[in-house]
Amino acid sequence: MPVKNRFAELQNEITEWRRDIHENPEILFETHRTSALVAEKLQEFGCDEIVTGIGRTGVVGVIKGKSDTAGKVIGLRADMDALPIHEATGLEYASKTDGAMHACGHDGHTAMLLGAAKYLSETRNFDGTVVVIFQPAEEGGGGGKEMCDDGMMERWNIQEVYGMHNWPGRPVGSFAIRPGAFFAATDTFDITLEGRGGHAAKPHDTVDTTVMAAQTVLALQTIASRNADPVDQVVVSVTSFETSSKAFNVIPQTVQIKGTVRTMSKEMRDLAETRIKEICNGIAATFGGTADINYMRGYPVMVNTEEQTEFAAKVARDVSGSCDDAPLVMGGEDFAYMLEERPGAYILVGNGDTAMVHHPEYNFDDNAIPAGCSWWAEIVEQRMPAA
């Protein structure tokens, strides 16, 4: 069962939607134009129900099958938001908004799910109900959580949920997936170390925060090398180091360091947070200073459920002929919140030999559209076969 012919017919139209969204990127929850476009298209398709304002600017469309003998409801989710990056592709449809671009392919995800919604509204060749979910603020805003907190799963009785992300470096239209932990939990920390500033010629009269902070940065790396089980995954990265003085001859009063922690289990997440606090407080005390630690938990680990992952892989093989085992990804994904609420699976679809996501020269490959749309449509038609 290869790519559906209908999506080959619709590819040019879906590509137009995608490029229009690409040209008009919107960040976080400010997806007002995109959300309005999605709602307008769903209305044109003849969806049975369209609701806006879920999770602030999210959009939900409901499509009923020809029959509903078992009361099955499946959710399909795409993200809509762009990134605060200035585009450098030189494309004729490049972003018209300075400092914003679709550098992660959410324009493609939204367009593909719209394509699937158009097809499913036309055919309705399934027994049950499909809920198409268009989510804002995946890029750090937690829009998926806000949609869940608004009662989306309960309101439409969603029983399973499926998502997709394009993946540069994989052949266009190919698929990869893995069961269990897939994308990492993403936490951040902001630490202020305080000592006693003074003249650089008299370090003995100071509590040197620069040395204190340097020791802290090095010691934080021991969480991965000496605290974590070698078979577990944890990344601790200090990404910002800023002193309160820019002078050559001043030992600063304070140093601020920031960074991120990526983990693949609750236990490792807890351990990393505990050790960061212990290390920072311990080193600060050793030097005679203090540490103010703000540890912020972000997206949880995204976990694919076993049964739904096996099914999603089977559908991918039907569409493209194969489905590879995906590697662990230490990036975060707020589809994790939806998978905490309901069983489901998240899959990668190949974007070809393109720049990586979050790069100013990245662009979604429109040739992936038929495969992505077909996968979503087949998820519905195979999981809820017509009575």
- Bind-site residues: 104, 106, 139, 165, 358
Distance CA(151)–CA(386), nearest Å, equals: 28
Cα torsion angle, 151, 156, 162, 165, sign = negative
d(CA 22, CA 64): 30
Residues belonging to the binding site for Mn(2+) are 104, 106, 139, 165, 358
Q: How far is CA 144 from CA 35, 67, 77, 81, 136, in A?
A: 15, 29, 9, 12, 8
Give Cα 85 distance to the centre of its chain.
Answer: 16
**Pure H helices in 258-333:** 266-287, 306-320
H/E stretch holding 216: helix 209-220
> CA-CA distance, 362 to 378, in Å (whole number)?
28
With b meaning 16 or more CB within 10 Å and e meaning fewer, what string describes 260-289?
Answer: bbbbbbeebbebbbebbeebbeebbeebeb
Find all residues with CB under 8 Å of 251, minimum gap 6, and list them.
195, 197, 198, 199, 200, 203, 206, 208, 209, 210, 245
- Burial bucket for residue 19 (CB in 10 Å: 0-12, 13-18, 19+): buried
Q: Are 297 and 263 in contact (CB under 8 A)?
A: no
